[in-house]
Structure 1
Amino acid sequence: MLKNKILLVVICLITFSGFSQEKKESPYKTDFVKDGIWITSAVGLNVLGVKIIQEKDALSLTDLNNLSKDDIWGVDRWAAGYYSEQANSDSYIPFYASFVMPFALLLNENERGNAGQISVLFVETMATTGALFTITAGLVEKSRPLVYNESLETEKRIDSDEQRSFFAGHTAATAAASFFAAKVFNDFNPDSPLKPLVWGIAAVVPASVGYMRVKAGKHFLTDNLIGYGIGAAAGILIPELHKKTNKNLQIYPTTAFNQGEYNFSSQGLALNYKF
């Protein structure tokens, strides 16, 4: 497929663009305690979110019979009833490919010397995105577009896994990974002529995933837009928060998290910006 060949070319460009450059100091600063708390808290929230998702109820037959496309927002209504196993399968190609982009950066001389630090930031980015997704998907009741497809078996339409359309996790994770790669490349190579291309690919890859997730009947347009925004924000902001030049923006430990009957006690992190 053409888009996969383009993605491969871009990964190669990212990989080899820094070989001839003199190694530079990392633009980021990490802290063992703060980043350790961040990752631990995010992983804990992921566990909590998965637990909530696993305990979601299937859609009752009464609720299934009461579903109406007329109750869906106009911007999403056109996708109700979409279903394609092929589109679902194809969406995993750019999804998995996006995770290669950050690791390809580590082959550059500038980034290779800071592989451990970049890996920590990447784990934070993906864990944060995952926490936001699992908690939201577990708490929000929203049927996927395929549930409105009356030609599908009832068992599939009422399955609990098909009742978590909001928001699009695949799109969010892909956006987080691709925008993280672009942001790190940008910060380590501020003068590179490849920056527009790298940022362009970072934007296109998750968009392609979102398109295929809609076509597959897994998510509505707004689910993908929210997922795209959350993933892109995490991919850009987490490296930005760790930049040495961001002296006005601070991260510090906080206390605990509680949600209804689910109790998760842990230290967390808060952001503070000095104007």
Structure 2
Amino acid sequence: MKHIITALSLLLLLTQGALAQNDSPYKTSLAVDGPIIVAGMGLSYYGLTLMMDKDGLTAEEVNRLSKNDVNGFDRFSAGYHSDNAKKVSDIPFYGSFTLPIAMLLNDNVGSKAGQVLVLYVETMAVTGALFTMTNGNVPRTRPLVYSEEVDISDKTTANARNAFYAGHTAASASAAFFAAKIFHDFNPDSNARPYVWAAAAAVPATVGYLRLKAGKHFLSDNLLGYTLGAAAGILVPQLHKKSNKTNISLVPITAPSYKGALLTYRF
């Protein structure tokens, strides 16, 4: 019953978004956006199962680990661990998801709430699919595993090998930059646009810094997560713009032997 209700709610949201076309900088379509959202959610779920099914390190493998084995760019953070930083990171992380909703308070954005919510769900579905499918197929030991202060039981879990790439950073960047992009496009004459973009950039940067200090991810993991999250937050709305001339499309795809996303450019 829960799945039926969820499907009906998604269908209603897509229908409302498809109808909200007039006076909007975006064009959405039930026939196009529906399958993308469903595929993105499906890939996200599948990728999550891959993440949970990873083989953790054995105690012997943990004891053989050396910070010198970490590449020079990331080595400085090998051994970082902070429960406090992890807890604090949740504040800007969860807060970032409210930013697109807060943008609905703007009259221009709020008048197209259904369409904006469709784009938001699609953005997060694409972000989730890219992250979980990558993380699920690429095991990388977290920096905290190199810390002598962390209990061996925490070092040998599957989660201890989910460093690549930073999902918290990617998700917060996606939500924050999506909010800024939406405000930017709906308010072309607003003097607040530079400040909105600055705030959007600061939120995931804060999340990434705290996740680094917590020993959850290396710097390169955070940089990649930030970049891909921001790209999704900006590109999904951009690809729906009525004035978009880039001929770029990004679509999650699935097949018996392959699951991922297809980026195409038409000349």
Give the superposition deviation at 1:254.
9.0
| % identical equivalent positions | 52
CA contact (8 A) 1:37 1:253 kept: no
Of 39, 42, 45, 1:41 maps to 39
Give the superposition deviation at 1:109.
1.4
Give the superposition deviation at 1:251.
4.7
Summarize the Cα distance change of 1:32–1:213 in structure 2 as closer, same or farther, 3 Å threshold. Answer: same
The 2-side partners of 1:54 and 1:72 are apart by 24
Deviates more, 1:61-70 or 1:26-35: 61-70
Q: Which residue of 2 aligns with 1:221?
A: 219
Q: Which residue of 2 aligns with 1:124?
A: 122
Summarize the Cα distance change of 1:248–1:146 in structure 2 as closer, same or farther, 3 Å threshold. Answer: closer
CA contact (8 A) 1:86 1:216 kept: yes
CA contact (8 A) 2:169 2:226 kept: yes
Summarize the Cα distance change of 1:28–1:50 in structure 2 as closer, same or farther, 3 Å threshold. Answer: same
After the TM superposition, which residues 240-259 of structure 1 pair with which residues of structure 2 at under 5 Å, given as runs?
240-249=238-247, 251=249, 256-259=254-257
Of 171, 174, 177, 1:173 maps to 171
Partner of 2:189, secondary structure, is: coil
Q: Which residue of 1 aligns with 2:107?
A: 109
Letter in 2 for 1:122: Y
The 2-side partners of 1:198 and 1:174 are apart by 15
Of 131, 147, 156, 1:158 maps to 156
Letter in 2 for 1:36: G
The 2-side partners of 1:135 and 1:270 are apart by 13
Give the superposition deviation at 1:215.
0.5
Letter in 1 for 2:43: L
Please tell me the root mean square deviation across aligned C-alpha atoms, in Å: 2.0
Letter in 1 for 2:50: I
Of 99, 115, 120, 2:97 maps to 99
Q: Which residue of 2 aligns with 1:64?
A: 62
CA contact (8 A) 1:178 1:203 kept: yes
The 2-side partners of 1:79 and 1:144 are apart by 10
The 2-side partners of 1:248 and 1:28 are apart by 14
The 2-side partners of 1:195 and 1:176 are apart by 17
Letter in 1 for 2:265: Y
Listed as ranges, the gaps of 5+ residues in structure 1 are: 1-23
Deviates more, 1:131-140 or 1:169-178: 131-140
Partner of 2:74, secondary structure, is: helix
The 2-side partners of 1:219 and 1:48 are apart by 22
CA contact (8 A) 1:94 1:206 kept: yes
Normalising to structure 1: TM-score of the pair? 0.84
Q: Which residue of 2 aligns with 1:205?
A: 203
Give the superposition deviation at 1:256.
3.7
Q: Which residue of 1 aligns with 2:29?
A: 31
Of 63, 79, 83, 1:85 maps to 83
Give aligned pairs, total.
246
The 2-side partners of 1:154 and 1:269 are apart by 36
Q: Which residue of 2 aligns with 1:14?
A: none
CA contact (8 A) 1:34 1:251 kept: no
Measured against aligned partners, the alpha-carbon deviations of 1:76-113 in whole angstroms (never above 9, x if no partner) come to 11101111110000001011111111001112211111
Summarize the Cα distance change of 1:253–1:235 in structure 2 as closer, same or farther, 3 Å threshold. Answer: closer
Of 71, 74, 88, 2:72 maps to 74
CA contact (8 A) 1:79 1:214 kept: yes
Summarize the Cα distance change of 1:252–1:207 in structure 2 as closer, same or farther, 3 Å threshold. Answer: closer
Measured against aligned partners, the alpha-carbon deviations of 1:175-204 in whole angstroms (never above 9, x if no partner) come to 000000000000000111011101011111
Letter in 2 for 1:208: T
Letter in 2 for 1:273: Y
